[in-house]
Amino acid sequence: MIPRTTLPILFLVGLPALGQVSFPDFSDPAGLALNGSSATVDNGIDPAPVLRLVPAVDLGGNGGSAFTSEMVCVKGFSCFFEFRIGASGGFPDPNGEPGGDGLTFTIQGVGANALGWLGGGLGYGGLTPSIAVEIDTWQNPGQDPDSNHVGIDADGDLVSLAAAGVPGRFDDGNLRSVWVDYDGVLLEVRVSDTGVRPAVATLARIVDIPGVLGSEAGFVGFTAATFGAYGDHDIVSWSYQGTCGNLTIDGCDTGVENLLFTGGIQLSDLVNACAAQATTHGGFVSCVASLTNGLKQAGILTGRQKSAIQSCAARANLP
């Protein structure tokens, strides 16, 4: 039961987004927006339903995406997913091998229903603002270094910030594991066909994801597309744990996660609103006290967290 005194705050911000994504399989895709050709299917290979972004049909172009229906924290994260690209066919790549075009893991500020260009656009082309990790299986002239690589892309541009060729074929129907880790500075990508996390990153690049998105929160998920070349592009499992970092007040680190609420509102936005409406320091401290008392009563903050925030507010040179 939520105490009546906290209802205005909860009405304003809703409950905190969990910021955690966990799909051991896709038997229940609740919490995901499925766009374009995306669907959950039984692929006849894996033991449970998978997320099929695009099917292996030659219709002159298919695109699909799946994103979290609510924003999650992206200031730092650990992400793991497994993919299987099979039934490859159609117009061969410059190596003479069938299959295309590939998929991306994307972090974006466009919306849950975002879907970009088809074919070599990987369902990602044109999505701004965004950062993506691409799994590319078809060399597009002037765009790609080869026909089997991973890349780190920004703002829907398929010319990667950095790319690394990977031996073999991602679209040979075998299961691949991908780890994407971001510590707030360095984005690291690891790809394995054994399920064992490689010690050394396959690809790494310094990227300011909150800077690119203009936010510590974004929609995360996958895109894929085909054109003359095609294949079943399946995500078999996915987990994502994100953080928005700590709430700081006028440079004072509260040690409390800068919580993300429904609609993209963060704890820092609520504290900033107190600073904006207060005319005196006492008024600011009182506003933050009222806010944090309500959040504690709602079970969103612990007593220790409430005290830490109030302590920083008292020391802040605000408003």
Binding site for Ca ion (CB under 5 A): 93, 97, 120, 136-138, 140, 144, 147, 151
In the chain, where does DSSP find H-type helix? 7-13, 209-213, 267-277, 281-297, 303-315
Closest separation in Å from C-beta 165 to Ca ion: 10
Closer to Ca ion at the Cβ: 147 or 292? 147
d(CA 70, CA 55): 26
Q: Among residues 70 and 171, whose Cβ is nearest to Ca ion?
A: 171
CB of 86 to Ca ion, least distance (A): 13
As a whole number of angstroms, the distance between CA 123 and CA 63 comes to 5
- Rounded-to-integer distance, Cα 248 and Cα 216, Å: 14
Distance in angstroms (rounded) separating the CA atoms of residues 266 and 40 = 32
**Smallest distance, Ca ion to C-beta of residue 84, A:** 15
Per the listing, tokens 């800068």 go with 258
DSSP state of 4: G
Q: Given the complex with Ca ion, which of 137 and 266 has the nearer CB atom?
A: 137
Least distance from C-beta 226 to Ca ion, angstroms? 11
Residues 6+ apart with CB under 8 A from 221: 32, 33, 65, 66, 67, 68, 105, 106
Least distance in angstroms from the C-beta of 83 to Ca ion: 14
Q: Which residue has its beta carbon closest to Ca ion?
A: 136
Closest CB to Ca ion among 160 and 266? 160
Q: Are 153 and 132 in contact (CB under 8 A)?
A: yes
Please identify, using beta-carbon distances, which residue of 76 and 156 lies nearer to Ca ion. Answer: 156
Minimal distance, residue 94 CB to Ca ion, in Å:
9
Alpha helix (H) residue ranges in 137-208: none
What's the rounded Cα separation, in Å, for the pair 129 and 215?
A: 10
Judged by beta carbon, residue 172 or residue 239, the one nearer Ca ion is 172
